[in-house]
Homo-oligomer: A and B are copies of this chain.
Amino acid sequence: MDRSSSTAGRLARARAPLLEFRTTRRTELVDITAEVGKIVAASGIRHGVCQLYVPHTTAGLTINENADPEVARDIERALDRLVPRDAPYRHAEGNADSHIKSTLTGVSQSVPVEDGRLMLGRWQAIFFCEFDGPRQRQVRVKVVPDPAE
């Protein structure tokens, strides 16, 4: 993932910039909090809502703890257990489970922005959820200012 501030600045000048990165495992929660935070900061918007959107059908988004990295690993394993890769699915591409996991997590998240910062809770981080990796992936980050501003 590109972590340079110049990239964040260029992205933020677009209306709804895309974060782009490559995942490394089939099921993998990737912490994108820092990259999203840079786009919010570079937008110059002080109060509003950060709308995150994944344009893929075998991936998702979740907000959860990153202090202990085992939490993300437990979420990965729980989803793999709830929706096994090998079951009598009709979709013949071998990733029916990935589509189902995407429906369980969802592909969008809305996080309030106040004083130019994501109003995440103390232990919260934003995770891209890969369910059919490794792949090149995108997340759209749209920062919408409050109308009064």
- State whether A114 touches B146 (Cβ < 8 A): no
Considering only CB atoms and an 8 Å cut-off, how many residues of chain A contact the other chain?
A: 58
- State whether A103 touches B142 (Cβ < 8 A): no
- State whether B71 touches A99 (Cβ < 8 A): yes
Copies of this chain, count: 3
Which 3 A-B pairs rank lowest in CB-CB distance, beginning with the nearest?
A: A55-B121, A70-B90, A57-B65
Not counting A16-B114, A145-B147, a sample of 20 additional A-B residue pairs whose C-beta atoms are within 8 angstroms of each other reads A15-B114, A16-B112, A49-B142, A51-B112, A55-B122, A57-B64, A57-B71, A57-B123, A63-B107, A64-B99, A65-B99, A68-B91, A71-B99, A82-B83, A104-B104, A104-B105, A107-B124, A108-B111, A112-B140, A145-B148
